[in-house]
Amino acid sequence: MLRLFLLQLLLLACFSPSFVHSMESSASKCSNISIPYPFGIPGKSPSLSKGFEITCNPSGTGPVLPIGNSVFGILDISLLDGFVSILASANSQQCKGNHSVNLEGTIFTFSDTRNKFTAVGCNVVAMLLNGSSGYSGGCASFCSTKDNIINGSCSGVACCQAPVPKGLKKLELVFSIISNKDNSTPSCGEAFIVEQNSYMFSSLDLSNTNNTNPQYRPVVLEWSIDGGSCEEAKRSSYACRENTYCYNSSNGIGYRCNCSNGFEGNPYLQGPDGCQDIDECSNRNPCTHKCVNTEGSFYCMCPAGMRGDGLKGGTGCNGVGTLQIAIVAGFALLVLLLVLGFWTHWLVKKRKLAKIRQRYFMQNGGLLLKQQVFSRRAPLHIFTSSELDKATNYFSDNNIVGRGGFGTVYKGILSNQMVVAIKKAQRVDRSQMEQFINELVILSQVNHKNVVQLLGCCLETEVPLLVYEFITNGTLFHHLHNTSAPMSWENRLRIAVETASSLAYLHLATKIPIIHRDVKSSNILLDESFVAKVSDFGASRPMPYNQTHVTTLVQGTLGYMDPEYFRTSQLTEKSDVYSFGVVLSELLTRKKPIFDGTMEEVRSLALHFSMLFHQNQLLKIVDPEVAEEAGMRHVETVAKLALRCLRLKGEERPRMIEVAIELEALRRLMKQHLIKKSQPLLQESRCHEEMSIDVASSMRPDDDGIAEDESI
């Protein structure tokens, strides 16, 4: 109880105003060496923390710095540069042991700018260790005979030097003897850290490598305030006071403070001992006439009728004569001519830019697009290039949100504060401009809640710019493969249903069927509610109703591409079904479509998934969280559907509408399973029949041939 009472009294005393003021006192001295705050001598001057305490012995060795179980004499403390110069034996001997300084757990590190790592010995390699990460530096010294040794030279003959690694706290060495053919040269080596330019090599030092007594040499330590970077320290215990600035320590550990420009003093103290304004006027009077001191600076005043900077080393103060007036008038005229010239140049450049934009607009089918938008009443807005330049900060790299094989996507904010995604497409083939415009109009009329909406385009640039609604929550690929947070199977199954519904809509319910051609998890975006949105129609192709396939150049993504399409170049709606089968496998397994493996292993997810299923080893690849949440009967049913989509022959695959119906039925069964786990999975056929009626009604097109936004 008495100890607790005394502790309370001590805390009250520490937080009293008088004690706080005494904490921030001026620097004390020990043997004519200044000990500035944050350093301090217990009982004489306070310190910022225990790591800054210094012991003073004025009648003996003077100030010493305790580190661990050792103490080191202090030669100098630099508040401005953050250095402490000590006298230490920071060395390690190959034959006789280690006398190095261990700075681990302290606020100090060996300075990499003011020290040198030095090794003395013949045919010796001294390598610095950096914990478990290997070597961090070192050097080698050679000598065949003593005649080759030159006093004062440390360039590799009997003595070598190397930079000290940044942030070094402990001298851990590995010595290696290269050879020792000449027994007249000592076989032992010594390595140490010493202040640069303070050590002069002597051949006598070779004899000291066998000496057990430590050699004391000046060593420079860097110190910093513990507490993270400046930004981190400002949120907790910030040591910098008024009129100061903070800078991170160069060794990457902690931070230090300094007085702002125009101030001097101790940046760690408040009041008169802290950073105070430098009165430049009274100290050195830099002005030719009147000097006016300001907080952190000054300025000079010239007498009436005189002009100039008023500085002694500058132009001073001079009278304004006829010549000066003429010069000023000529300068004003020159400025006026420059302004007129700039304005004229700006007008010419603006007209030239307008002509270029008009030319691009015509080349990119602008007139045809206007006609199509007017005749079909398509909800497609035609943006100007100026609007999109402002929206994307002139297409700054900071606004890039994605790159793909068909263009770069930028985030933009329109003048009405609407956030959009702007895709800079690849160069359009001028010979297929009419087809490109038709596809734009068709995509603008796609109206489904699970398809990213095309809002408009800009044709005033060399390559067309497409403007889509902005989806905020990233891609399905990112949430499956690049985050540690698991996604529930209920959410994954819903995303699969929404994706299949949107693809079935594109295949059946639009005026002209659209084949996406690049279905993959990175082209399925998720909004803030994790609702799926199919995106990136850069590779999509419309297909007339009277055709079964379109022959094209093969495009797509490895791992998702339909092997039949890859082999024949004949694109059908079943190509999207295959790609969706890969996505469904991803949802089940959380495996990438192409994964790393040895040469003997199967690297294709589709092949690996199919092989394990037919070997009755599905649990080896299915995500354990999915198996636990849904049950293996449900997982096997979904896996069978995925494998039907992945059949090599397109004619054997189900249509996208059939896939959507089966997935919705499975989703309903899954909901019932989660509510009442004992309910069997045998009602699947009944749900299929109900879903067929629902989907048939939702897929009826409206009067214009474009389906309403109804979920499949």
- pLDDT digit string (tens) for 224-244? 998 889 999 988 889 999 999
Give pLDDT tens digits for 633-657: 999 999 999 999 999 999 999 999 9
Q: Which CATH number is 364-469 given?
A: 3.30.200.20
Burial 539-572, CB ≥16 within 10 A → b, else e: bbbbbeeeeebbeeeeebbebbbbebbeeeebbb
Main-chain dihedrals φ then ψ at residue 107, nearest 5 degrees: -85, 5
Summarised one tens digit per residue, pLDDT across range 117-156 is 999 888 889 888 876 667 788 999 888 777 778 888 898 8
pLDDT at 633: 92
Residue 588 clears pLDDT 50, i.e. is over it:
yes
Confidence at residue 593, expressed as pLDDT on a 0 to 100 scale = 94
Domain 230-277 coded CATH 2.10.25: yes
Alpha helices in 57-110 (DSSP H): none
Amino acid identity of 302? C
- CA dihedral angle for residue 226, residue 228, residue 229, residue 233, rounded to 10 degrees: -80
Choose the weakest-confidence range: 259-268, 375-384, 524-533: 375-384
pLDDT at 88: 85
| Window from 251-255, 528-532, 546-550 with minimum mean pLDDT | 546-550
Of 641, 639, 640, 610, residue with least CA distance to 626: 639
CA distances to 280, 286, 309, 328 from 303, rounded to whole Å, are 20, 16, 11, 20
For 688-698, the pLDDT digits (tens) are: 445 443 444 44
Q: What is the number of H-type helices and E-type strands within the chain? A: 17, 35
At 694 the pLDDT is 47
Class of domain 476-698: mainly alpha
**Average of per-residue pLDDT across 244-262:** 90
Measured between alpha carbons, how far apart are the two ends of the chain, in Å?
76
pLDDT band at 426 (very low <50, low <70, confident <90, very high): low
Q: Is the pTM of this model over 0.75?
A: no
Q: Tell me how far apart the alpha carbons of residues 530 and 670 are, in angstroms, rounded to a whole number.
A: 18
Place of tokens 């100090």: 108
Nearest to 623 by CA among 674, 587, 675, 578: 587
Per-residue model confidence as pLDDT tens digits over 366-417: 777 787 776 667 778 889 999 999 999 999 999 998 876 667 889 999 999 9
Dist CA 86 CA 33 (whole Å): 12
| Residue where the block lists tokens 């879903």 | 691
**What is the rounded distance in angstroms from the CA atom of residue 423 to the CA atom of residue 427?**
12
DSSP of 507-520, one letter per residue? IIISSS-EE-S---
Mean pLDDT for all residues in the chain: 82
DSSP lists the bridge partners of residue 423 as 409, 466
Q: What is the residue whose two structure tokens read 């076989």?
A: 187
Q: Tokens 């830099």 — which residue?
A: 286
Residues near 597 by Cβ (< 8 Å), separated by ≥ 6? 603
Q: How confident is the model at residue 691, as a pLDDT?
A: 46
How remote is the C-alpha of 184 from its chain's centroid? 58
Locate tokens 């299949």: which residue?
500
Residue 76 clears pLDDT 50, i.e. is over it: yes
Domain ranges of the chain: 83-223, 230-277, 364-469, 476-698
The more confidently predicted of residues 324 and 253 is 253
Catalytic positions, written as ranges: 518
Can 364-469 and 476-698 be said to share one CATH topology?
A: no
Cα separation, 661 vs 508, in Å, equals 14
Identify the band that residue 490 occupies on the pLDDT scale cut at 50, 70 and 90: very high
Lowest mean pLDDT among 79-83, 208-212, 334-338: 208-212
- For 31-57, what is the mean pLDDT? 89
State the amino acid at position 46 in one-letter form.
P
Q: Which of 145-154, 434-443, 503-512 has the lowest mean pLDDT?
A: 434-443
